[in-house]
Structure 1
Amino acid sequence: MEETIAGPQAAQIPKQRGESLQDTAVRYAEERHWDVFAGTWLEAVEGVPRCSCGDAACAVPGAHPAREDWATQATGSATVARRMWAKQPTASILLPTGRTFDAIDVPETAGFLALARMERMELTLGPVTCTPDRRMQFFVLPGAAVKIPDLVRRLGWPPASLDLVALGEGMYVAAPPTRYGSRGAVQWACRPTPANRWLPDAEELISPLAYACGRER
């Protein structure tokens, strides 16, 4: 079953229902060959969802690594992933970047504007997430984190002037349907499909993304 929600630019974001976090994590490992690891989870404290890390002021409750060695725990094995979530069925699903993909992180409004331009340009897109803290993350080939500053400069923008961040080695993204406290769940703006298994290079998407972020300044 799928549900759509309205976003900026009247975009529709499919939202999956009825699949456990464990099944979803296993599917990411099996079908997309993405490494996955189990992060923190939400616990009800006096009826209020709190992060399992114990920090009442946690910035991303239930959606960050639960241990410092998370990078070595990330696995592409469906069997190991199933075992991870069997231990903690409500753990968030986190995907390390810098391995099978990097991610370009931009504000949600800029992301929807860029998506509209990309469709008009008939660009091939990879998966794109939309997070409860109003960010969008565009999956691209690994290596983007190194290329992005120079690519942005070539377009005439000082990299520090744009709210555009490349997530590469040593970083991660939260995957749907991970929840951020009471703010909602991560969802797909462009869900993974057989058609977008082959990811675009950062160079293919940087122009519309930089333009959209420039409009947001």
Structure 2
Amino acid sequence: MREILGRRRRLRFRRKERTAQLDAALTCALEWDWPVLPGVGLKATTRTTTRSAARTATWATRRTATWTAEGGAAASDEARGAGCACPDPECVVPGAHPFDPGLLAATTDERMIRWWWTRRPDAPLLLATGGGAPCAVSLPAVAGARALTALDAMGMRLGPVVATPTRWSLLVAPYSLERLGELLYAKDSVPSSLRFHGEGGYLLLPPSVAGTGQVRWERAPLAGSARPWLPDVEAVVDALVEASTGAPGGGSRLAY
């Protein structure tokens, strides 16, 4: 009897583990009206390799927290070595991009979202940025930590912040490409390590696991909020540019 009860507990835990991405996708779509879709994911498909990838990703996240505090180097070699499920053997964002379905399929429809994640419960969660959905600005992890410290010191109100072992992304209110272009044109220089996720772009959201490791909330949306508050891109871009410029190597390295 004890063996049967223990097995049932393990099955319940696995079932709960498999619904984490679906629960997050439904929260984004139904509570926040953010269009989402599943990412391509990693090659590992068995339960054993998936759990191993999750343990590696968790370790990589802890390692990155130490790295960020010490100003040191990069994410787990094991996590970096995970192969993308797409046909490109040299994919630079393994597991963390749309493939089938494509980005244009992003939706807030509950039935579609449930169907996707019922078929692929471990699929990464992607937000289609722009339009009426949030946009984002991402930068290397060390620069991201510096930028948040600077913005907090200024008393700046921030929205959600997504973190991977290599990059942090600040979610901002929707902006047009024209508006962004005018904003960046006024800068003396903009580090190439900064990326702007606007209309036609996408962003990996927690609790996904990709080739660089576990995706987490560095600043989570407030629990119970109808829709997360987002700052304007103008309010944060100066601090992001300065933090990226002051990062090791001048902030010019493109780290995925």
Q: TM-score range by the shorter chain?
A: 0.7 to 0.9
- Tell me the secondary structure at the aligned position of residue 96 of structure 1: strand
- Tell me the secondary structure at the aligned position of residue 209 of structure 2: coil
Tell me the equivalent position of 1:26. 26
Is the deviation greater in 194-203 or in 87-96? 194-203
Structure-1-length-normalised TM-score: 0.79
Do the aligned partners of 1:124 and 1:196 also contact (CA within 8 Å) in 2? no
Structure-2-length-normalised TM-score: 0.68
Paired letter, 1:169: E
Which one has a larger percent strand, Structure 1 or Structure 2? 1
Paired letter, 1:28: C
Tell me the equivalent position of 2:170. 138
Tell me the equivalent position of 2:183. 151
Do the aligned partners of 2:135 and 2:172 also contact (CA within 8 Å) in 1? yes
Structure 2, unaligned runs of 5 or more: 1-15, 50-80, 251-256
Tell me how far apart the structure 2 counterparts of residues 190 and 180 of structure 1 sit (CA, whole Å). Answer: 19
Structure 1, unaligned runs of 5 or more: 1-16
Tell me how far apart the structure 1 counterparts of residues 37 and 245 of structure 2 sit (CA, whole Å). Answer: 34
CA deviations 1:169-200 (Å, max 9, x no partner) are 1110111111123x421111111122972211
Tell me the equivalent position of 1:189. 218
Tell me the equivalent position of 1:5. none
C-alpha RMSD over aligned residues = 2.5
Which one has a larger percent helix, Structure 1 or Structure 2? 2
Superposition deviation, residue 93 in structure 1:
0.7
Q: 1:146 to 1:110 in 2, by over 3 A?
A: farther
1:80 equivalent to 2:112? Answer yes
Tell me how far apart the structure 1 counterparts of residues 26 and 122 of structure 2 sit (CA, whole Å). Answer: 14
1:214 equivalent to 2:214? Answer no
Do the aligned partners of 1:23 and 1:82 also contact (CA within 8 Å) in 2? no
Larger Rg: 2
1:172 equivalent to 2:202? Answer yes
Do the aligned partners of 2:37 and 2:127 also contact (CA within 8 Å) in 1? yes
Superposition deviation, residue 49 in structure 1:
4.8
Tell me the equivalent position of 2:147. 114
Is the deviation greater in 145-154 or in 114-123? 145-154
Q: 1:44 to 1:185 in 2, by over 3 A?
A: same
